[in-house]
Chains A and B, each alone.
Chain A
Amino acid sequence: MAEVVNTLKREAARTGDSAKKPEEKPGKLYEARKKIFPRAVSGHFRRLKWTLATIFMGIYFILPWIRWDRGPGAPDQAVLVDLAHRRFYFFFIEIWPQEFYYVAGLLILAGIGLFIATSMVGRAWCGYACWQTVWTDLFMLVERKIEGDRNAQIKLEKQPWNAEKILKRGLKHLVWALIAFWTAFTFILYFGNAPDVAYWFFTGQAPFVAYSTVAIMGFVTYFFAGVMREQVCIYMCPWPRIQGAMVDEDTLIVTYHDWRGEPRGSKREQKLHPEVQFGDCIDCGWCVQVCPTGIDIRDGQQLACITCALCIDACNQVMEKIGKPQGLISYSSVRAYEKLTTGQMKQTEFGWRSFIRPRTIVYLLVWTLIATALLVHLATRDRLRVNVIHDRSPLFVRLSTGEIRNSYTVRMLNMQLEPRDFRLSMVGLEGGKMRILGINKPPARSFTIRVPGNKAKSLRVFVTLPKDKVREPHEAFYFRIEALGPDGKVEESAEKKAIFEAPAK
């Protein structure tokens, strides 16, 4: 990459672009922020970005209001993180804390998904999907509707604080604050029944944490999307740094084709120097003006470029106007760029084949494997579970009859929403019997207990073994639970190993 940049730089220096010359003053320790006033642009990529932003924001803002009937006693919100009861509901899927690995799996999938996207199409995440980009776009739209486009904004900025400026700026910040508030407010709706939360929130009955979350998140949204903007991407976000490791010669990046554009010159310069064979770039500066991070793409690939492709839209419009072929700035890989530069390739052509590389194949394979494993696991998962904790103080008790007793806490989880009968029985430990605290039945090897839906039931189980049946000091056996259907048939079952401790002979 450095080579490409160097070539570009040398090229720029040779053509007398004095603005890019290194400063000769000693380096500053701190740099004041250069305010950016991005210009509006329309085109293919702008449309794509608005479409995606609408979809993403639509999902975010509407999702908590969608209802999903789960029957009585269960929440009817399609997507709900129920922290109080420790459940996560996602349409027909219900996840208990024990099943958090599904969420971990999803996060891993998202991570590897980012790897795949980055190695194929570069920083597509940054340019199209990141909430920083999406929300900043929305805030910029508001800004343009109120203050006008780039030139109007610059004019307003230079203007003294008169009524017009106060009104426009005030209105802009008000709308921003409203969007930020609604964004943060929507966030808390995911953690409780949305209509209830909304009602409590606006009637002052919501818990403090709801208000503080909205305050903090609202402020961050307002501050990051309204004020900080590109500073977040350039200085705060770690992702641009990590991406360096995922980008290679075949990754699509926004590229200025200097072999075609240089030496650049405006129409006036072209007239002044008829002896020079100018390139296609007329140095109109549109690509710089539309850039949301304020960079000049003609300097080559750089950290601040989030590959939003707005400069491509801008340049294509200009090329169309002056009757030159489009694609002076385009999505192109380093390999394609080099081929074009050396004349091995005649024009920018988009090849799907560049997507199929060992790197992307490995990423895809890993992603598919994990996704398949998760899906299979989810489809075949049990909706019951049993946990056993053995009393440790003491490990065993000698009874007056000489029998040995061990005590266990058996926790049965009914992960279905309907109540079910669970049969708890002992497997192994010949001669042993159990008694359950609170159940007035003689000791037996099997009990049937009703467990409410979506709940866990803890039982204190005392297992006794006659003295003459004691075979070894630590004998393993199993607690088995079987969910019985209405007809008494076993629907599913689970087992948990336990140890019966006895005095050494």
Chain B
Amino acid sequence: MAERERDEVTGTETTGHEWDGIKELDTPLPRWWLWTFYATIIWGIGYTLAYPALPLIHTNTKGFLGTTNRMELEKELKTVRAQRAEKLAKLEKASLQDIMKNDELRAFATRMGEAAFKVNCVQCHQAAGRGAYGYPNLQDDDWLWGGTLEAIHYTITHGARYNPDTNEETRQSDMPAFGEQLEPAQIEAVTEYVLKLSGQEHDARKAEAGKKVFEEDAGCNGCHGDKGEGNQELGAPRLSDQIWLFSGSREAIRSQITKPKHGVMPAWKYKLDKATIKALTVYVYSLGGGVGS
């Protein structure tokens, strides 16, 4: 090795690097620093042996501690569940009204309901229950089966038109297919009348005829009410507002009279526990459409 330059003042060798006349000293590192470096290497080896580390062809080294991040997560979740158990028990015992009155419990139920909603409900009802074509909006004040805490709880528990043979408590409503009972002209007329009820553009003459079909020939008012105000007992939608499950267009109304579509909602009692259903109820109620207290 070539003789290295030595700094005159300090007596230390230089690295040979020079910037604008300033030279870098090659000051020896402290010995303990070297030991620290070796210690980190030993630590690294130990770590590799202790934890899953090296990929093999079909699997990987498992590590003698026998733990993985997934197992750590399981443990943490277990702790969280244990911490939650107390509140869950309270939630299970409390009535829906009491939950709403207790700030802390309501906040807990809302959070829990929100999480459960995101897993189980958004597929149809969309994010935050904003609804979609054929799937009711849960934020507005127009309810098919009622928007009180009890009604929401019942609907979630038993579902709608869900295996009525074994699940007798399910929400059940069947609008007949009037295409088989009414003449095309009658259907045409009653469509205009429904348009009129909801305050949309319509053919006044046909609507006049449709009123007769609505009230006498087909007896629509039996479920939907004389003014189309609907009936939540029977799950008959209100026809007098601008909110439609499917669509409020002439074609859609005609199609629904001729051969109605019937949505199905699962009965969640088969899948979710009581506390979760309560939490979902509180969450849906709190979205803004909740009725009464």
Contact = CB atoms under 8 A, between A and B. Distances in A.
B24 to A, nearest CB: 13
Interface string A1-26: 01001100100000000001111001
**What is the interface of chain B mostly: helix, strand, loop, or mixed?**
loop
Interface in B27-41: 28-34
B4 A26 contact: yes
Given A397-B137, A398-B140, A22 B8 contact: yes
Contacts of B289: 397
A437 interface: yes
A274 interface: no
Contacts of A43: none
A32 B31 contact: yes
B11 A400 contact: no
Contact of A401 (B101, B130, B241): B241
Contacts of B107: 458
Contact of B31 (A20, A31, A407, A462): A31
A399 B9 contact: no
Interface in B1-41: 4, 6, 8-13, 26, 28-34
Contacts of A458: 107
Nearest to A440: B293
A33 B32 contact: yes
Contacts of B142: 399-400
B243 interface: yes
Contact of B11 (A23, A31, A438, A462): A23
A402 B9 contact: no
Interface string A72-91: 00000000000000000000
B242 interface: yes
A27 B4 contact: yes
A32 B106 CA distance: 66
Contacts of B290: 437
A392 to B, nearest CB: 8
Interface in B244-293: 286-290, 293
A397 B139 contact: yes
A22 B31 contact: no
Interface residues of B, number: 40
A339 B139 CA distance: 84
A30 B139 contact: no
A270 B101 CA distance: 96
A23 B10 CA distance: 10
Contacts of A20: 11
Nearest to A396: B139
B224 interface: no
Interface string B170-181: 000000000000
A486 interface: no
B141 A400 contact: yes
Nearest to B13: A27
Nearest to B129: A393
A111 to B, nearest CB: 28
Interface in A443-457: 457
A488 interface: no
B100 interface: yes
A394 interface: yes
B128 interface: yes
Contacts of B128: 391, 393-394
A399 B241 CA distance: 9
B285 to A, nearest CB: 8
Contacts of A235: 30, 33
Given A394-B128, A397-B139, A399-B140, A30 B241 contact: no
A398 B242 contact: yes
Contacts of A266: none
B26 A27 contact: yes
Nearest to A437: B286
Given A397-B137, A398-B242, A231 B30 contact: yes
B288 A6 contact: no
A22 B12 CA distance: 7
A23 B4 CA distance: 13
B140 A400 contact: yes
Given A21-B11, A393-B127, A30 B242 contact: no
Contacts of A5: 9
A268 interface: no
A258 to B, nearest CB: 14
A394 B139 contact: yes
B153 interface: no
B158 interface: no
A28 interface: yes
Given A28-B28, A32-B31, A407 B288 contact: yes
Contact of B34 (A22, A30, A231, A394): A30
Interface in B76-117: 100-101, 103, 106-107
A450 B6 CA distance: 78
Nearest to B22: A2
Nearest to A392: B128
Nearest to B143: A400
A405 B30 contact: no
Contacts of A28: 28
7 contacts: A21-B11, A30-B31, A400-B238, A400-B243, A405-B140, A437-B290, A460-B288
Sorted nearest first, the 10 A-B pairs with minimum C-beta distance are: A22-B11, A27-B13, A400-B241, A393-B128, A31-B28, A394-B130, A393-B127, A397-B139, A400-B142, A32-B31
Given A6-B9, A235-B33, A458-B107, 16 more contacts: A9-B9, A21-B11, A22-B6, A22-B10, A27-B12, A27-B13, A30-B31, A31-B30, A33-B32, A393-B126, A394-B130, A400-B140, A400-B242, A402-B242, A438-B101, A462-B288
